[in-house]
Amino acid sequence: MSTYERSCKIRGDGGRAIRGILDRIGDKWTLLVVATLDGPPLRFSELQSRIPGISQRMLTRTVRHLERDGLVSRTVYAEVPPRVQYELTATGRTLIEPAVALADWAIDHNPEIERSQATYDTGTA
C-alpha cells in the first residue's frame, strides 16, 4: 500500500482532502503567485506585472482562492485611492520550499520529458 493510500485510509475520506488541496495549488497560476509573493507585500498591479501572461481576472480569482485557503492575506489601507497589498501568511510561506523543489524537479527533468513526448508522439502519429 502506498503512502497516499495509507493517508486516505487513515483520514477515511478516500483522498478527497488531498485532491482538493492539490487541485488548488496545482493549477496553472497558484504556485507562480505564491512564489512571487515570497518577499515583501505587493500591490495587485505589482503582482500582476511580475507574472507574465496572467490576466487581471485570473489573478483576482487566484488571490481570492489563496486568501480563502489561508495562504495569502489581503490588507486594505483606508487611503484615497485605496491601497491593497497581498502577502503570504505563515501557512503560505510553508509552501515555498515544496514549490521550489517541484520547480527545480521540472527544470531538471524537462529535457527528458520533452524527449519522451517526442518519442511517444512519433510512435503514435
Alpha helices in the chain (DSSP H): 3-11, 16-25, 30-36, 44-49, 56-68, 90-93, 96-124
What fold, for 3-124? Arc Repressor Mutant, subunit A (1.10.10)
* pLDDT for the residue numbered 125: 57
pTM for the structure as a whole: 0.79
Between 113 and 1, where is the model more confident?
Answer: 113
Tell me the pLDDT tens digit for each residue of 62-114: 999 999 999 999 999 998 888 999 999 999 999 999 988 888 898 999 999 99
